[in-house]
Amino acid sequence: RGGLKGGGIRILNGARAPEVSSSSAASVRATVGYAVSITGCGADPLLDGAAVLAHSIRLASAANPASGSRFDYQMYAIVHPVAEDCAPLAGLRKLGYEVLIRDVPVKVEDIEGEYLRTKVVDNGCCGEKEFIKLEAYTLVQHPIVVHLDLDTLVLRAMDEIFDVMLDGPSSNVVVPTHAGAPLSTAKNVDAYFTRDYNMVRPGRPHVGVQGGFLVLRPSIETYDEFKSIIRKGDFRSNGGWGGKGFGPFYGSMTFQGIIPYFYDELHPGTGVELDRCVYNQMCDNPRDQKTVNDVVSGRCRDGRDDCPDCRSRPLDDVRTAHFTLCQKPWWCLPHGANRIQDRLCRKLHGEWFRIREDWERMRGDGKGGVRDGLGNGIFQKDHFRGWCKSQGKNG
């Protein structure tokens, strides 16, 4: 069928993701759960993002022997009840997602802290609905779960961080951590995340996590602890969670604040901040002043005296990308300027459309026949693979 309003790409018709081949199944170490959350229904084409994300995960998993990965995958869509009637649930199921309808872990009216109870519904992007991401902790049938936003893309296998979660920190495994910080050998790694330094002033001691990427160890005990924290609702206007400085900042009352409070304050050493140039790459400016003619200026947002610029990172280094500052691929933006703000964005968008083409080719014409995977659009066809007819959201 045709494209959704507000998007520039035709909706995928819900072809089921291919099964893992028997040749690769023999070498699978574990099946990792991959979850996305849907808190409402906007103009963006959910199925396009869901299909390309799922296919990118498949290509980086044991289902694709060329990936070199030893980990299989299973997709989940955690859907808030308000989105149940408007989200394309049948299409998600056809794409291989197991759909889980989940309300928030704690109802707003049951939050004891008055400040959190009265303010949380208007906090961040989605208010209290953002807490449904915590439902990923209940997927205890998997040893590891990766929660991603729908506007993300997996480009390479993540076995290095999975192995450390299962085996414990080892000097033989190099994990790309923020600022090269060593892994603790005293405690197991229960979570990986990146921080969103764009949302706080430079040098702030406690910084929120970026909400589109979390690798976690599922645990009902951990889930129940999160519920207890939310129910108590000890979030203060001038001190955030527990008055310890985890807030206020964007999204601090929900996922982006409670995750660092849990792993930095309550369970220190069990959460690892990854290098955001490698994982959850967003092409963000590392400094607090504008970049002009590829020259950066200002203070490092992460508090260091010197900081790498993720926008200069080679594409081959990127494990996962998150289309925030680069904007959504389905907006059909060429990012054609020869400047640091655009060059990597264009390459990452190009990867999204390359994987889109591969998905279209794999699913065929829906009648058992083959197709080349290209769309009929003519706008920069070599880059957008025929899936954009013009520039912009309606392209």
* DSSP output for 312-354: GS-GGG-SEEE-STT--GGG-----SSSHHHHHHHHHHHHHHH
Whether pTM > 0.95 for this model: the answer is no
* Cα-based distances in Å from 22 to 5, 19, 28, 63, 245: 40, 9, 10, 9, 50
Amino acid 372: pLDDT:
87
pLDDT, residue 18, reads 44
Percentage of the chain exceeding pLDDT 70 = 92
Cα 386 from Cα 74, distance rounded (Å): 29
**Res 26: pLDDT:** 59
Residue type, position 346, single letter: R
Q: What is the pLDDT of residues 340-368, one digit of tens each?
A: 999 999 999 999 999 999 999 998 877 66
pLDDT band at 186 (very low <50, low <70, confident <90, very high): confident
Contacts of 100 (CB under 8 A, 6+ apart): 76, 77, 78, 79, 135
Sign of CA dihedral 208, 212, 213, 218: positive
Q: What is the pLDDT of residue 2?
A: 31
CA separation for the pair 79, 76 (Å, rounded)? 9
**Distances from the Cα of 149 to the Cα of 38, 76, 94, 290, 327, angstroms:** 9, 12, 19, 27, 13
What's the mean pLDDT when you consider all of the chain?
91
Closest CA to 278 of 305, 311, 318, 243: 318
For residues 219-226, average pLDDT: 99
Name the residue with higher pLDDT: 340 or 20. Answer: 340
Q: Which domains does the chain have, with CATH numbers?
A: 27-291+312-325 (3.90.550.10)
Q: Which residues contact 389 (CB under 8 A, 6 or more apart)?
A: 8, 376, 377, 378, 379, 395
Cα 110 from Cα 364, distance rounded (Å): 50
The pLDDT tens digits of the residues spanning 121-145 come to 988 788 899 999 999 999 999 999 9
**Which two structure tokens, joined as six digits, stand for 330?**
């389905």
Query: What is the tens place of the pLDDT at every residue in 225-277?
Result: 999 999 999 999 999 999 999 998 988 999 999 999 999 999 999 999 999 99
Per-residue pLDDT, averaged over 208-216, amounts to 97
Q: What is the pLDDT of residue 9?
A: 36
- Torsion sign over Cα 93, 95, 99, 103: negative
pLDDT value of position 20:
43
Mean pLDDT of 94-109: 98
Of 362, 360, 340, 342, residue with least CA distance to 350: 342
The proportion of the chain whose per-residue pLDDT surpasses 90, expressed as a percent, equals 81
Distance CA 137, CA 256 (A): 16
Q: Per DSSP, what are the bridge partners of residue 75?
A: 34, 97
The mean pLDDT of 294-306, rounded to a whole number, is 95
Long-range contact set of residues 371-378: C-beta below 8 Å, sequence gap at least 24: 375/9, 375/10
pLDDT-derived band at 48 (thresholds 50, 70, 90) equals very high
